[in-house]
Structure 1
Amino acid sequence: MSNLPEMPNILQILIYGFILYVLFRIGKFMYRKIQERRILKRMAKSGIRYIDKMDGHQFEVYLKALFRELGYSPTVTKQSNDFGADLVLKGKNRIVIQAKRYGMKNRVGISAVQEIYAAQAYYKAHEGWVVTNSVYTRQAKELAEACNVKLIDRVELQKLINKINQEYSAEDVYQGVTPAARKCPTCKHDLVVRNSNKTGNKFFGCSQYPTCTHTEPINT
């Protein structure tokens, strides 16, 4: 009679291997779902959806409130001749910021980095930042790295927001701050902010309605 140990049952090994594989896939799926829920909760808390609805002026006002809560002393520059900076932060260092409120399909390009780099020299700032609710092009990232410009994208912006308990939320700013004035491209009269009865969202409509029926979204 042979004293050699029995060879493992190949079928058993295959079954155990299959079970482990299935458990691994289920665990991976569940982990991904949990992470997705956490991301959605962070997004809801950050108010990023209201930021997406803002125009550029509202976004600047919101960032002013945000950075004040983060311990800076922020000021919004004048809307014309700002030399590339929308906000100036005073703290240990002087920081200039260009705010880019974009649609998610639009990436922030190289010009934003060029402008804030020039603004850094004009305002005698120690740092230059670009802050957006969107993302950056590869060229913008490469130039920012070469120029030592800090880029804050959609994800990093949400992280900043979630660090604090804001006195003014993104919804407060969206609802309470009037967007920058615009002229109707059709009749050249003023556009006024209106509310949609269907969606509840704000939009610009011509002040000469119903003579002129031009409308456009706030976040253009």
Structure 2
Amino acid sequence: LVQCKHWKASKVPVSVVRELYGVMVAEQAAGAFVVTSGQFTDDAQAFADGKNIQLIDGRLLVGTIKGRMPQASKPAITSVKSAISCPVCSSEMVLRTAKRGVNAGNQFYGCSNYPSCRGTKPHQL
């Protein structure tokens, strides 16, 4: 079982870990993970000790991701590529379709480095 928490303002309390442990026992699961972008309280860590519950805090999560992802990899882009350069960073642009806003359904060129670069150009037929 896995439970994820986005807690940056405060630490994940012991109650979250206790609740997941209760579900783990009720479902007869072999183990559980609690993953957070923040940190756990000392009580939460103490409760998890000796139980098959692994606590993964934000620092461990980021370290694990960085350690397993090749530095040169880029996210896969399923849109049609073009020979158009980004006006912001000069990278290749990708033909995309707007999903929301006033331009929903319309096509445009977006930077292949999105979300690091948010350069766009209009698509003209």
TM-score normalised to structure 1 length: 0.30
| Corresponding residue for residue 135 of structure 1 | 39
Equivalent residue number for residue 65 of structure 2: 161
Residue in 2 aligned with 1:27?
A: none
- The residue identity in structure 2 corresponding to 1:131 is V
Equivalent position amino acid for 2:42 in 1: R
**Cα separation, partners in 2 of 1:159 and 1:121, compared to 1, 3 Å:** same
Match of 1:110 among 3, 14, 22: 14
Q: What residue is the counterpart of 1:186 in the other structure?
A: none
Say which one has the larger Rg: 1
* CA–CA separation in structure 1 for the residues paired with 2:75 and 2:47: 34
> CA 1:154/1:126 → structure 2, altered by over 3 Å: closer, same or farther?
same
CA-CA distance at 1:146 after TM superposition: 3.7
Give how far 1:116 is off. 1.4
CA RMSD, Structure 1 to Structure 2 (Å): 2.5
Relative to its length, the structure with more helix (as a share) is: 1
Q: Quote how far apart the aligned CAs of 1:124 are.
A: 2.8
TM-score (ref. length: structure 2): 0.51
Structure with more of its chain in strand, by fraction: 2
Query: Distance in 1 between the 2:21 and 2:32 partners?
Result: 6
Q: Indicate the SS of the match to 2:4.
A: strand
Structure 2 gap ranges (5+): 77-100, 102-125
Partner of 1:100: 5
Deviations 1:33-90 (A, max 9, x none): xxxxxxxxxxxxxxxxxxxxxxxxxxxxxxxxxxxxxxxxxxxxxxxxxxxxxxxxxx
**Aligned amino acid, residue 130 of structure 1:** V
Find the aligned partners of 1:106 and 1:116 in 2 and give their Cα distance.
19
Aligned residue pair count:
74
Report the equivalent of 1:46: none
Higher-RCO chain (CA-CA 8 Å, sequence separation at least 6): 1
Percent identity (aligned): 27
Q: Deviations over 1:111-156 (max 9, x none)?
A: 1111111121233321111000000111111001043311000111
In the TM superposition, 1:38-187 aligns within 5 A as 96-103=1-8, 105-162=9-66, 163-165=68-70
